[in-house]
Amino acid sequence: MPATVLVLVETINDYLPILEHQGFHLILAPTPAERAAAITRHGGQIDAVLTRGPLGLYADEIAALPNLKIICVIGAGYEQVDLQAAADRGLTVTNGAGVNASSVADHAMAMLLALVRDIPRCDAAVRRGEWPKIMRPSLAGKRLGILGLGAVGMAIAKRAAHGFDMTVSYHNRQHRSDVPYSFCSTPTELARASDFLIVATPGGLGTKHLINKQVLDALGPKGFVVNIARASVVVTADLISALEQRRIAGAALDVFDAEPRVPDAFKALANVILTPHVAGLSPEATQGTVELVGRNLVAFFSGNPVLTPIDLPATRTKAAL
C-alpha cells in the first residue's frame, strides 16, 4: 500500500506529480479549515506530512496522527514544527536546507537594490508624470553585513562580493574558517561594521530578537536592513520605531510576525519595501524542494537514511533520566 502524505503547503501544486509518480498518495489541505478537516477525517491513514516552517505541525496534530512516521519541511526553516513532540513519538523530520538558496539570494539582492536606489518611489513618480532627479547611494564598495552564513547567506555574500564589489562581514553561531569574509562576534558588532544588513538566519528560539534597538542604532541613520529570513529574528516594534524616527535609512521585508497580516505602520512608511514572503519561490527552487522531499520519502519508506535529517531533542523520558 502506498504511503499517504498530508500536504499542507499551498504553493507547490504544479510539482506534486513528482511525488505522485513516485507512488505516494497525497491529501491536499492548504487552508487551516482543510487542514483540520483532513486530520479529523483521514488522521488514521496519514504516514507523512509535508509542511513548511511557518505552517509547522503542532503537538496536538501529531497526537491526532497515530500512523505518522515522518515530517518533511520544505525550505530550511522548521520553527513551527513541534520537534519535542516529534522526538517523543520517534518520528523522523527532514528539511530542504539550501535548495532554494539561489532564489532567496536573488530576492535579497533585488530588495536591497530597490531599497537603496529607491526604485519604488522613482517608478511611482514617473507613472504620475513626474521626472524627479532622486540621488541615492551606490552599492559598489559598500559594507554588507550578513546575519547567518548558511547556504542562503553564502549565496548572498557571493553576489555582493563578486557582483557588486562589496566588503562582506557576517555573524554566525560559529566562526567559519572556510570563507574569506570577516567574522563579527555579535549582531551589534556586525551592524556597526555594515552599511547594509541582511538577515539570513533561520528562525526559532536560538535566533529570536537578535536584531533589536541596540543593533539598529549601531547600524545608524544611513544603514539599511533587509529581512528574507524570519520575522522573529527582528524585534518588530524596535524596527518600526527606528524607521519612523529615521534612526535607520530604510528596510525591505519579505517576512512578518503574523503572516499574512502586516502592521499598518510598515505600510505607512515611505522608507520600507514589502513583499509577501516570496523570496524562496521560483520554478527552479520549488521543483528542487519537491524533488528533495521525494528523495527523502523514498529513502525513508525503503528503510534507508534520509538525506536531510533534522536533529531532534532528547525524548522527555530520556531527558528525565
10 Å CB burial of residue 204 (0-12, 13-18, 19+) is middle
Name the maximum alpha-carbon separation found in the chain: 72
Among 246, 259, 284, 316, which one carries the catalytic annotation? 259
- Residue 277 annotated as catalytic: yes
The Cβ of residue 225 has, within 10 Å, a number of other Cβ atoms equal to 29
Distance CA 32, CA 40 (A): 12
CA–CA–CA angle 226, 228, 234 (5° rounding): 70
Is there a catalytic annotation at residue 107?
no
Exactly one of 35, 89, 192, 277 is catalytic; name it: 277
Catalytic: 25?
no
Residue type, 152: V
The active-site residue, picked from 230, 247, 284, 316, is: 230
Question: What residues have CB less than 8 Å from 115, skipping those under 6 apart?
Answer: 224, 226, 250, 251, 252, 273
**Residue 35 class from Cβ within 10 Å (0-12 exposed, 13-18 middle, 19+ buried)?**
buried
**Pairwise CA distance, residues 155 & 64, whole Å:** 39
State in Å, rounded, how far the first CA of the chain is from the last one: 39
Q: Which residues are catalytic?
A: 230, 259, 277
